[in-house]
Chain A
Amino acid sequence: MNPVALAFAAFVTAAIGTLGGLGGAILLVPLLVLSGMEAKYAAPLGLVSVAAGSLAAAPHQLTARVVNQRLGVATEIAASSAALIGALVSGLIGQSVLAVLLGVVALVAAFAGARRKGVRNLPDSSLSVDDVGETPGTLAGVYPLGDGFVPYRANRLPLGLLGMGMAGLISGLSGVGGGWVKTPTASEVMHVPVKVAAATSTFTVGVTAAVGLLVYESQGRIVISDAALVAAAGLIGGTVGVRLQHVLPPPLVRRGLSAILAVIGVLLIVRR
């Protein structure tokens, strides 16, 4: 892929990945492989895109207080531990089986997001801007939505941790990052508002990507000039994506996310 096309692909996938909390790798890696790049060089560029999108989004999401870092840290332990196990056993599972598994998970997540109507968590008129943020010692918080303030609490933690563990396992096995499983898990299983789920996933995929990049760097699989180009474009794309995330209404974000996941699921199953 020529440098201009690579930069454009990294920009678009980082913007979409940050907007939906997917991480850009699930979009960028298949694109690079389709363009003829070897998967072993495409995967590190995917993680560079994820890490760049995560870093670009962080200052804005922290200031807007829409990310729940306690939820992110609590669930990332399961995801990172499973990612490590997945990376260690990745050679034991066939790529074809893995592709079908990824495709089915993506389609289920797409269906779960698309079938729900309206907004689950409604604004509470007794809350003010001073209440926005995380509630210390809990997995609850308040986030701003339009002119109102919406309280939420993460439910079904054991099931959520199982989902996050699966996201980590898939990430470790495939090298495509797990944000596209983490966001639907937080939103549809744990009942966290989709904007908070997406912002929290954007934080945690950066953590997972850091570990992956360390592995790839030690294996000499990162082409520095390409990685730097992807990082620059990914930082711009991530900045655009997080601003769109703040402006767009939650049902639109959720439906868009479902549509993207459905396309990814079909592509993964058809192209195995």
Chain B
Amino acid sequence: MSFRALSRVLQVALILTFACALGGAFIPGVVGRVSGTACIVLLIAAPVVRVGWLVVDWTRERDTRFALLGSALLLVLATSGAIALVR
């Protein structure tokens, strides 16, 4: 089942993020800073990957309406990110 695979992927992301967060909080210097930044990147990427995964899943299931809605959400997220970076 696809939701179980997505759950496993997010479980791995959770463990990785936690490890990076601990590194960022407790390791001094450059290593800690890189680890902390990786934690933030993972926190940003996880929900975007999840929506992307759902779009692929719904496309395979021929649930076209929700696949399009998911794509529209990814477009809104991309636009928001682009505007944020430009400003």
Contacts and interface: CB of A to CB of B under 8 A. Distances in A.
Contacts of A227: 24, 36, 39-40
Nearest to B48: A210
B24 A77 contact: no
Given A137-B65, A225-B36, A228-B21, A213 B43 contact: yes
A229 B25 CA distance: 5
Interface in B40-61: 40, 42-48, 50-51, 54, 58, 61
Interface string B10-49: 1101100110111111000000110111011011111110
A74 B54 CA distance: 12
A77 B72 contact: yes
B30 to A, nearest CB: 11
Contacts of A222: 40
A228 B14 contact: no
A214 B44 contact: yes
Contact of B18 (A76, A203, A206, A232): A232
Contact of B73 (A51, A80, A224, A225): A80
A270 B40 CA distance: 34
Given A69-B54, A84-B76, A211-B77, A231 B10 contact: no
Interface residues of B, number: 51
Contacts of A84: 76, 79-80, 83
Contacts of A137: 63, 65-66
A210 B20 CA distance: 17
Question: Could you say which of A51, A52, A65, A228 has the most chain B C-beta atoms within 10 Å of its C-beta?
Answer: A228
Interface in A28-73: 48, 51-52, 54-56, 58-59, 62-63, 65, 69-70, 73
A55 B80 contact: no
Q: How large is the interface on A (under 10, 10 to 19, 20 to 34, 35 or more residues)?
A: 35 or more
A139 B19 CA distance: 36
Nearest to A64: B7
A126 interface: no
A207 B10 contact: no
Contact of A55 (B13, B33, B70): B13
Nearest to B19: A232
Given A59-B14, A232-B25, A73 B66 contact: yes
Interface of B: 3-4, 6-8, 10-11, 13-14, 17-18, 20-25, 32-33, 35-37, 39-40, 42-48, 50-51, 54, 58, 61, 63, 65-66, 69-70, 72-73, 76-77, 79-81, 83-85
29 contacts: A51-B47, A52-B21, A52-B43, A55-B14, A55-B42, A58-B10, A58-B46, A59-B7, A59-B14, A62-B4, A62-B6, A63-B7, A70-B66, A76-B73, A77-B72, A136-B63, A137-B63, A206-B47, A210-B43, A211-B84, A213-B40, A227-B39, A227-B40, A228-B24, A228-B25, A231-B39, A231-B40, A232-B25, A235-B18
Which 6 A/B pairs are nearest by Cβ-Cβ distance?
A228-B24, A224-B36, A232-B21, A228-B36, A215-B84, A62-B7
Interface of A: 3, 48, 51-52, 54-56, 58-59, 62-63, 65, 69-70, 73-74, 76-77, 80-81, 83-84, 87-88, 133, 136-137, 203, 206-207, 209-211, 213-215, 217-218, 222, 224-225, 227-229, 231-232, 235
